[in-house]
Amino acid sequence: MYQRILLATDGSESALRAAHKAAHLAKIEACARITIAYVVDPAASKHDVLTEGSSMSLLEQKRHERVKPIEGLFDRKEVSYDFKLLKGDPGTELTRVANEEEYDIVIMGSRGLNALQEVVLGSVSHKVTLGAQCPVMIVK
């Protein structure tokens, strides 16, 4: 049913909970594969350069470190996965990849913005839910 799973992550606790759900779904299908998608938005990129330094390879390594707990989980559960680093607005990029690469489902954690924050800032999960052409699972 869900052989191509897109897991959106930012390295947070809710993203790790979403990873547990993705692993569970992947174990149901024998040839399921999870793509771990980490999106660097321009605002975060500027912050990372200021705090971590300007070496692009070092920055990409630091960003990849944020998903190591998820990779460890998938290794322990013997789930097939790969890692994709995307750049741009997270909601837009995740929706684009989900649609262009025809994923069966997108799984993501919920940061739990309150109603005012969501109206002012928007939420990544809301944007993906509206734009993706496949089911979207939001894990609290």
pLDDT at 49 exceeding the cut of 90: no
Work out the average pLDDT over 16-30.
Answer: 96
The answer to whether residues 105 and 136 touch, using CB atoms and an 8 Å cutoff, is: yes
Work out the average pLDDT over 35-40.
Answer: 94
Does the pTM exceed 0.95?
A: no
Burial of 100 (0-12, 13-18, 19+ CB in 10 A): exposed
Domains of the chain: 4-139 (3.40.50.620)
Q: If we measure between CA atoms, which residue out of 63, 70, 85 comes closest to residue 19?
A: 70
Q: How far apart are CA 49 and CA 46, in angstroms?
A: 5
| Tens-digit pLDDT profile for residues 69-103 | 999 999 999 999 999 999 999 999 999 999 999 99
Of 7-16, 53-62, 90-99, which gets the smallest average pLDDT? 53-62
pLDDT at 120 exceeding the cut of 50: no
- pLDDT confidence of 118, banded at 50, 70, 90? low
Q: Give, to the nearest 10 degrees, the angle between helix 90-100 and helix 124-131.
A: 30
What's residue 121's pLDDT?
46
